[in-house]
Structure 1
Amino acid sequence: MPIAIQLKQIPADDNPIFFPTDSEYDWLTAKIFVRSADFNDHQLNAHLLRTHLLAEVFAVSLLRNVPMVHPLYKLLVPHTRYTLQINKLARGLLISDDGFFIKFAASGGEGCIPNFYYRDDGIKLWDIIRRFVKGVLSFYDKNDTEVQKDSALQKWISDIFEHEFLSQTGTGIPQSFTTVAEMVKFVTMVIFTCSGQHSAVNTGQFDYGGWMPNTPTTLEIPPPTEKGTTNEATMLQAFPNMGIAANGMAAMWLLSRPSYDSVPLGQYPEQHFSEETPCDLIMDFQGELQILSENITNRNKNLEVPYTYLDPKVVENSVSL
């Protein structure tokens, strides 16, 4: 629950700070504007940019630079399934000049918060993925020297840094890999982004946004510029019309549904590895994911609102929807 809301960035007389002690509709209207802004930030930043488009960067560089027989290709390619396809559809249907966001949206460490299940489940999932990645990659590139001499690996990260992040060192993307640890951390991030992070920001969209006032895709009037001017009528005027609301609900419902042939995290219908060690590591990976899933299921039995979005059995291997 917010303790205060200011709807514009620059303090001014026409930019009041709203409080829970204000009139019912002043406070409710302020919260509605925040929820609408959050919808647009969530979809375009947390969801599109930080999972879909980031996953595409890794996939394109993988296909450009890494041979199919390379262990990095075998490890990562299942986590790129359908990503380029769904992003092509998104460019046409969601973020194009006549897409959804133009037509129906305004945009065109240990934490201190208890019971923050995105954090808690996410850290556990990250650690499981990291152990798997470390086991597989260090089986092939056993030390830092071998990492530095792995030309396909170096071309992959160099392509990502140069062409997708425009050689900007401030992005945190490395220009090359110099150690096993650096390689493992980055590849862990790739797989987590393509699987767990996308599930966390995608799967629950309809749960939160299916009731339009909780996540308006757009609002039809400017935010209030002074207190005491809102009422039920002005609040209702702010909401999008039924057509826009229905399109928003439909988009969130569609994006939240699993595809008919979805592949859960850790399942590999196409067997890319043939050596005994990586095959054993895959089985260990699947076992750890199963234990995490069971723990999440047991915890959720005691929650009024279960948090399921990082349960491995609902996390897909790739950004495919």
Structure 2
Amino acid sequence: MFAVLKYFTKTPSKLPVNNQMLKPFLEMSLKEALTKKRIFIVDYEIMDGLLTKPSSIAFFYQHNDGTLIPIAIQLFQKLSNYFRSDNSVFLPSDPEYTWILAKMWFNGADANYHESVSLPEFTHLKMEGVVAITHLQIYIKNPIYKLLMPHFFYLLAINWTGIPLLLGNNGYIVKLLNIGRDGATELIRRKNKSWRLDVDVCLTLTSINFTCSAKHEAVTFRQYEEYAFPPNFSITLRGISQKPKTTERGETSATSSTRRNNVRQAGHNRHTEH
């Protein structure tokens, strides 16, 4: 999630929240929190239309103690998507299971993005091309070669064995992710459109080194801790996403069937890097 987390100085029009809605979860007014850069947003618009799974938007607030908490979740980008007549904004004050399921559907989108883009696409597939070009075009005694090489150890070997296990016809992405292999490859294609290297040399080299080291560690080494508890990152969710908050028990009309399926289907759906 932190790869797509951005601070906002004003609320976006497609997430209709206001001070009255969010005041119970803030230690200050919404305007003040925005001014102090304490409001953050994760917007998965890039996932819009992938197998009709949620392309969620979430607001986060940074507490005075530094803790980052979700304060609003909207599961779809716009009202007309997926034949919906309503696109509710879910809040921590909603009934318990309504808010839990909203967080699970958001985390499901987050997990599918992570296991498609953040890990395999950026730190492996894209960097494989950089490794190949470095070997082909940069002299072995060039300072740039010496700077980059320590960050490339084992990358080609890992890709050779690991990528088929992920993206193959019967790979983990096919078996586990909601968006499947077609959705994952389409997501990678969309993200590639925004990737550039036509910047200064220092920034380019810094980006490559960071991607192959710190970023790779960040998106890889805590997979077990994050995914081992299925509701935390449910990469597979079955059923219909949240509907408007209407029932007396405070559950959405999809809650009963979805909740049973969510935990069962997501129970063992995780993988670690090979």
Q: TM-score, normalised by structure 1?
A: 0.52
Matches within 5 A, 1:199-210: 199-210=217-228
Distance in 2 separating the partners of 1:170 and 1:196? 21
The residue number in structure 2 matching 1:187 is 205
The answer to which structure has the higher helix fraction is 1
Q: Which amino acid aligns with 1:3?
A: I
Q: Does 1:4 align with 2:72?
A: yes
Of 175, 187, 197, which aligns to 2:215?
Answer: 197
How big is the shift at 1:212? 1.1
Query: Is contact 1:25–1:232 with CA below 8 Å preserved after alignment?
Result: no
Compared CA separation, residues 8 and 247, structure 1 to 2 (3 A): closer
Q: What does the per-residue CA deviation read over 1:8-67, in whole Å, with 9 as the maximum and x for residues that have no partner?
A: 112242432222232221111111111111111112122222222232121010122123
Compared CA separation, residues 49 and 169, structure 1 to 2 (3 A): closer
Q: What does the per-residue CA deviation read over 1:59-109, in whole Å, with 9 as the maximum and x for residues that have no partner?
A: 01012212323332233222111111212223210122211111111122x
Distance in 1 separating the partners of 2:165 and 2:193? 33
Of 72, 75, 89, which aligns to 2:147?
Answer: 75
Query: Is contact 1:93–1:99 with CA below 8 Å preserved after alignment?
Result: yes
Q: Does 1:211 align with 2:233?
A: no
The residue number in structure 2 matching 1:61 is 133
Percentage of identical aligned residues: 31
Query: Is contact 1:219–1:240 with CA below 8 Å preserved after alignment?
Result: no
Query: Is contact 1:79–1:191 with CA below 8 Å preserved after alignment?
Result: yes
Compared CA separation, residues 46 and 30, structure 1 to 2 (3 A): same
Q: What does the per-residue CA deviation read over 1:277-297, in whole Å, with 9 as the maximum and x for residues that have no partner?
A: xxxxxxxxxxxxxxxxxxxxx
Q: TM-score, normalised by structure 2?
A: 0.60
The residue number in structure 2 matching 1:222 is 240
Query: Is contact 2:242–2:255 with CA below 8 Å preserved after alignment?
Result: no
Distance in 2 separating the partners of 1:96 and 1:169? 23
SS at match of 1:239: helix
Q: List gaps (5 residues or longer) in structure 2.
A: 1-68, 181-188, 248-252
The residue number in structure 1 matching 2:111 is 39
Query: Is contact 1:18–1:30 with CA below 8 Å preserved after alignment?
Result: yes
Distance in 1 separating the partners of 2:88 and 2:193? 39
Distance in 2 separating the partners of 1:219 and 1:58? 35
Distance in 2 separating the partners of 1:45 and 1:171? 12
Distance in 2 separating the partners of 1:62 and 1:39? 31
Distance in 2 separating the partners of 1:57 and 1:70? 19
The answer to which structure has the higher strand fraction is 2
Distance in 2 separating the partners of 1:87 and 1:246? 24
Distance in 2 separating the partners of 1:169 and 1:234? 35
The residue number in structure 1 matching 2:267 is 245
Query: Is contact 2:71–2:91 with CA below 8 Å preserved after alignment?
Result: yes
Point out the more displaced range, 64-73 or 209-218. 64-73
The residue number in structure 2 matching 1:236 is 260
Of 142, 147, 156, which aligns to 1:84?
Answer: 156
Distance in 2 separating the partners of 1:169 and 1:224? 31
Query: Is contact 1:220–1:240 with CA below 8 Å preserved after alignment?
Result: no
Matches within 5 A, 1:143-154: none
SS at match of 1:246: coil
Query: Is contact 2:234–2:269 with CA below 8 Å preserved after alignment?
Result: no
Query: Is contact 1:216–1:240 with CA below 8 Å preserved after alignment?
Result: no
Compared CA separation, residues 224 and 83, structure 1 to 2 (3 A): same
